[in-house]
A and B are shown apart, each in its own frame.
Chain A
Amino acid sequence: MDFEYLNYLGEGHNKDQILQDLMTAYGQDVWNFAFSLTRHRDAADDIAQECFLKAYRNLESFRGKSSVKTWLLTITKNAVRDYRRSAFIRKVTLMDKLPRGEAGGSLSAEQEALDQIVADAVWRKVLALPAKYRAVLVLYAHHQLSMEEISQLLSISVGTVKSRLFRARQRVTAMIEEDM
């Protein structure tokens, strides 16, 4: 679907239809990027919703400096940042009073839930990477973004993108070799 017309939106355009088209074309991309970063289905749902509603509110401000996909993925990245900062995941619980070992049960439950959602073994390894490596690898290998686009999206230099991609690949390869 061609979203070139977004550059020239005037009065009277049908925003609801545009939203529908954006979700049809990029819904899975946005959700999967949010899921890759958070590793939680519910969080990915909320973030995808936040992303599209934000895009809906700001349709007129899109001026084609990046592709529509990169624009949406940038909104997604920012929504993930807000999500991580939110009280929703930062609440103190009794678990915080437990030493690390005793709180470990929740981690395996989390892993189990993730394993149920993600069938592919390679993806599971990618999702086990630290966030900074995971983001670069997912944007490059799954979303097919260029080094420059990733650099802009994550606000890091192209050199850093390259080194993170190199290390991400190294780590996943090592994990795969460990399993063999």
Chain B
Amino acid sequence: MDNKPEWEEHLSAPPADGFTPQLMRRIAEQSRKRTESGKPAIPAFRLASLAAGLALVIALLMGKEDIVRYFSGKSAAGISDAGGYFAHKEGGDLAWWQKKKAAALTKEEQTLAGAVVSIMTRDIGTFGRKAGIDAYFDPAMLHLKDLLADYDASSPRLTEAYVLEQTEDSEGTIFKIGTVLATGIPGDPGYEGSFTMHVNRTSGKIDALSVEKTVERTG
């Protein structure tokens, strides 16, 4: 195995000098603050995840009407609440979404339910592979399905999905979907996350997608 190529010698030196005295001071300062306050210091990227997770928890704890109010307050400018065919926080396991797909009345409803079923059955085919979910994407936006890579795994896998938010913009409908992922390990609470998709009104296809977060469940 140890037939080292000559160029490997270069790698004994670091690629860059990034651990600066300023960063060291920043960390020491954070740890002191933590000791004084008794609270953990949290980096910006972790805060972003936690804030998003907190929003999800708040949403799940609130009643149906409250959720509508909560999210309508968070809507971006120019986006209005859709009357919609999905009740907020509506959703469930694979059987629920299969039933919804079979009973879908509109193109957008069909696309959302079909895409969720594809994700739950891992018919995603990220990174260039063809799969069932392709039928629900605008062909020019098919690369966006790569963002679903976290869901294209045997563990943790998506077991439940809920419509947390449904809004309309001038081109179609934005669905924010809350997800529950299970690992199959006894006692493991698993993960929760969300993704948001924009379904174009004319084509009935997904033309924008984001996978906002996947965080460990706390209990």
| A88 within 8 Å of B (CB atoms) | yes
| B67 within 8 Å of A (CB atoms) | no
Query: Which of A85, A165, A166 meets B213, CB within 8 Å?
Result: A85
Known: A162-B1, A173-B5. A86 touches B213 (CB 8 A): yes
- How far is the CB of B142 from the nearest CB of chain A, in Å? 10
A-side interface residues, number (CB < 8 Å): 60
Which of A5-13, A38-46, A61-69 lies at the binding interface? A38-46
Query: Which of B45, B144, B210 meets A43, CB within 8 Å?
Result: B45
Give residues of chain A (136-159) contacting chain B, Cβ–Cβ below 8 Å: 137-138, 141-142, 147
Known: A16-B31, A56-B31, A85-B150. A46 touches B44 (CB 8 A): yes
| B185 within 8 Å of A (CB atoms) | no
- How far is the CB of A111 from the nearest CB of chain B, in Å? 14
Residue of B nearest to A124 (CB): B15
The CA-CA distance from A162 to B12 in the complex, in Å, is 19
B31 engages A120 (CB within 8 Å): no
The CA-CA distance from A30 to B20 in the complex, in Å, is 12
A122 engages B10 (CB within 8 Å): yes
Give residues of chain A (48-75) contacting chain B, Cβ–Cβ below 8 Å: 48-50, 52-53, 56-57
Known: A85-B49, A85-B215. A117 touches B16 (CB 8 A): yes
| A127 within 8 Å of B (CB atoms) | yes
The CA-CA distance from A166 to B35 in the complex, in Å, is 45
The CA-CA distance from A32 to B31 in the complex, in Å, is 21
Grouping DSSP codes into helix (H, G, I), strand (E, B) and loop, the A interface class, with mixed when no group exceeds half, is: helix
Name the B residues within 8 Å of A117 (CB-CB): 15-16, 18
Which of B21-29, B58-66, B92-100, B105-113 lies at the binding interface? B21-29
The CA-CA distance from A172 to B213 in the complex, in Å, is 33
A46 engages B43 (CB within 8 Å): yes
B5 engages A118 (CB within 8 Å): no
- How far is the CB of A126 from the nearest CB of chain B, in Å? 7
| B211 within 8 Å of A (CB atoms) | yes
A92 engages B16 (CB within 8 Å): no
- Chain B residues with a Cβ under 8 A of chain A: 1, 5, 7-8, 10-19, 23-24, 26-28, 30-32, 34-35, 40-41, 43-46, 48-49, 51-52, 140-141, 143-144, 147, 150, 196, 207-215
**12 sampled A-B residue pairs with Cβ under 8 A:** A16-B32, A32-B19, A44-B18, A45-B18, A53-B40, A85-B215, A86-B45, A87-B48, A87-B213, A122-B7, A127-B15, A142-B12
- Chain A residues with a Cβ under 8 A of chain B: 15-16, 19-20, 23-24, 27-28, 30-32, 35-36, 41, 43-50, 52-53, 56-57, 82-83, 85-92, 96-97, 99-100, 117-120, 122-123, 126-127, 137-138, 141-142, 147, 162, 165-166, 169, 172-173, 176
